[in-house]
Amino acid sequence: MRIGLLTEGGYPYATGESRLWCDRLVRGLARHDFDVYALSRSARQEDSGWIPLPPQVRRVRTAPLWGPQEDWLGGSGRHAVRAYGRRERRRFTTCFAELATAVCRTPDAVPDAGTGTGCATAFADGLYGLADLAREHGGLAAALRSETAVRVLESACRAGGVRRGVHGATLPDHLAFADRVERALRPLSLDWYGEDGLGAVDLCHAASGGSAALPGLLAKRFFGVPLLVTEYGVHLRTHYLTVADAPVSAPVRTLLAAFQNLLTAEVYRRADVLTPGNTHARRWQERCGADRAKLRTVHPGMAADRFAAVGESGDGGDPRTLVWVGRLEPAKDLVGLLHAFAEVRREEPAARLRIVCAPVRDAESATYRTHCEALAAQLFPDEAADAHTVGDNPVSFEDLGGPYAPDVTDAYAGAGVVVLSSVVEGFPVGLVEAMLCGRATVSTDVGAVVEAVGGTGLVVPPRNPRALADACLALLRDPARRERLGAAARARALELFTVEQNVAAFRAIYLELISRAPVHREADAVGADGEPLPFAHPAEAYVAGHWTGRGPGGGTPAWAAAPQPVSTGPAPGGQAPAAEAPVAAAPVAEVPAAAAPATDTAAVAHEPAGGAGLVVASLPVAASFPVAGRVDGHV
């Protein structure tokens, strides 16, 4: 199987969110071939280089989502600035106006989507119209930054029924939004969509929503390639959290939120399967319009062998020490943790708190660390046992990779209890690492914490230092309970959160999607000797009637060219009869109606002209492959 892996700001770059789990997935599926299509987010990320790639990665193609369009004219963007003629300009204006109108207006200001003119439909029509234009003529990046685009935006913002925050948009706001939209839609201008690109893969797997999924949407539109979207952190939620602090005006913030909302809804609607990493992400996807039938929760996979030495040692760590591990940022609420530890110290004077920090990456983290260190010095002055010893602070700030914590396993090995105090959290990776080490945990009820911990740790409300302190004291004072919870935590983590279960889940999903996807390249339907390959065309392809699946360019799928059974009468629902063709060697038989099995087959029947009987196409329900699609309104 050949997989097109679509990433944004991650694999195969050495930095980024998706690099670890994507690398584990690719290495775990050694029998599949992978073509990686990566979008980078910054020059710094590109300068960091790639991680070592396994041999099953056959091709890597990259493109930047940063910098002006002139920086990526070579390679994938070589058609980016081609000038449009009059006809192409008119076509661009029409498509971009549809997209801009959907973004600017409130959903209730546009007629219902059932009429074909709803916000979602208008957005999709504009998006795919731009994609078709870029594929045929190029030049989309320049057009999105042109005066025409700005005028279209200005007109859409001044029309009736627009969103409340859009009313005050000015020319700088239109220019700023056009710049952001050009970057987000930059995948439409790439030359990845050909028989030697995404048209050659069997399945597209997007490692996130948003711009990373755009190539998958186009591969499905142009070639009928199935699309799988994985979100361990919901892209739309991340946008909401980051755009609030972005240095842009309120109208631009409103427009960006609406654009990302519509793009996310379109990705969810077109994807064949969505795999959230936890129940918290799944709820977000459902609220954004994802179909529950498409959702499959696949938990992130952790390298359990890395923590085996600590987890199997039977050493419970220092019974007086609380350990916190993570990145120093306000969402982690270290201030609340320090106040909670002050309560712990009043009850247990021998207790200590180790704060093990990941390397600081930005000025905000450095400022927050300085603030937390100052607060710790104020709450816990250096204490000395007598007049002849050096004072010591019960709270220590240690750098991960430093002499006291050269590896994250060393930090967990010295912990009696591991604490998580966040007020915002997605999937708590650090908490799962502590569980793999067999450590009892105390954590706040945010994100997917309860789903990860289950009944193997104590969970308290966020922003409640008193409750956090009471939970820590309960475990510090009860060694037997700590040991029992630690063992249960390790067993749960080994069952649910290992690389092996993650890879096995995706292997099954890949096979499922391929089993119900028709061959979209006739060359793949024959073997090396030119003979037809068994099961290259699914049995459903031979059933008479209208199919909803579309092929390249939205037309008839490749398998529709296969010989179809004879059908001369009107199909159910008033549809036109199928064209006459010789009957192929297919699982179709002309039998009387009474002969059609009623319990083990799914049959589609209609009456030919003259009432001479029924033509029944029967498919075994208990076959080893699923029956997918709709035939004449019946499954």
Average pLDDT over residues 222-248: 85
195 or 7, which is more confident: 7
The single residue listed with the structure tokens 């076509």 is 91
Dihedral angle over CA of 492, 359, 14, 437, nearest 10: -20
Position 620 pLDDT exceeds 80: no
Percentage of residues of the chain with pLDDT beyond 70: 76
pLDDT of residue 566: 38
Exposure string over 549-562, b if 16+ CB within 10 A, otherwise e: bebbeeeebbbeeb
C-beta separation of 229 from 422 below 8 A: no
SS3 499: helix
* Three-class DSSP category at 428: coil
CA torsion sign for 527, 532, 534, 535 is: positive
When pLDDT is cut at 50, 70 and 90, the band that residue 473 belongs to is very high
| pLDDT value for 263 | 95
pLDDT of residue 526: 67
Quick one: pLDDT at residue 15?
Answer: 84
Q: Where residue 548 falls among pLDDT bands split at 50, 70, 90?
A: very low
pLDDT tens by residue, 161-173? 888 888 889 999 9
Instruction: Provide mean pLDDT across the span 497-521.
Output: 87
Helical pair 86-104 and 147-158, crossing angle rounded to 10 deg: 40
pLDDT at 61: 95
More confident residue, 572 or 15: 15
13-66 confidence digits (pLDDT tens) = 988 778 889 999 999 999 999 999 999 988 888 988 999 999 999 999 999 998
Percent of the chain with pLDDT over 90: 57
Sorting pLDDT into bands at 50, 70 and 90, what band is 109? low
Domains parsed from the chain with CATH numbers: 2-66+192-294 (3.40.50.2000), 86-176 (no CATH), 316-493 (3.40.50.2000), 541-620 (no CATH)
Give pLDDT, residue 161: 85
Could you tell me the two tokens for 587? 């699982």
| Sheet strand arrangement including 33-40 | 57-64, 33-40, 2-8, 203-206, 227-231, 273-276
What pLDDT is stored for residue 402 in this prediction? 87
Q: What is the mean pLDDT of the chain?
A: 81
Arithmetic mean of pLDDT, 248-272: 93
Digit-coded pLDDT (tens) for 342-389: 999 999 999 999 999 988 878 888 999 999 999 999 999 876 656 656
d(CA 442, CA 412): 14
Q: Region 282-286: what's the mean pLDDT?
A: 91
Cα separation of 497 and 481, whole Å? 23
The answer to whether residue 570 scores a pLDDT higher than 60 is no
Question: For position 36, what pLDDT does the model report?
Answer: 97
Highest mean predicted confidence (pLDDT) among 8-17, 497-506, 514-523: 497-506
Give the pLDDT confidence score for residue 235 in this predicted structure: 83
Pairing type for strands 440-444 and 417-420 reads parallel
The rounded distance, in Å, linking the Cα atoms of 17 and 44 is: 15
pLDDT at 600: 37
Average pLDDT (586-595) is 37
The pair of three-digit structure tokens given for residue 2, joined into one six-digit string: 């050949």
Whole-number Cα distances in Å, 312 to 432, 479, 491: 16, 17, 11
At 433-467, the pLDDT tens digits run 999 999 999 999 998 999 999 999 999 999 999 99
Asked if 552 contacts 519 with a C-beta cutoff of 8 angstroms, the reply is no
Cα of 407 vs its chain's centroid, Å: 29
Return the pLDDT at 609: 41
Q: Give the other-Cβ count within 10 Å of 298's Cβ.
A: 22
Conformational region of residue 249, where left means phi above 0, alpha means psi within -120 to 50, and beta covers everything else = beta
What share of residues in the chain are helix, strand, coil (percent, to 5)?
45, 15, 40
Q: What pLDDT shows up at residue 583?
A: 35
User: Which one has a higher pLDDT value, 582 or 198?
Assistant: 198
Q: Has residue 563 got a pLDDT over 60?
A: no
Task: Tell me the average pLDDT across 393-403.
Answer: 91
Q: What are the backbone angles phi and psi of residue 50, rounded to the nearest 5°?
A: -105, 155
pLDDT digits (tens, 9 = 90+) for 134-151: 999 888 988 998 999 999
Mean pLDDT lowest among 9-13, 330-334, 394-398, 544-548:
544-548
Task: Name the residue with higher pLDDT: 563 or 223.
Answer: 223
User: Band of the pLDDT at 628, cuts 50, 70, 90?
Assistant: very low
More confident residue, 114 or 393: 393
**Local confidence band at 561 (pLDDT 50, 70, 90 cut-offs):** very low
pLDDT band at 580 (very low <50, low <70, confident <90, very high): very low
In this predicted model, which residue has the larger pLDDT, 445 or 588? 445
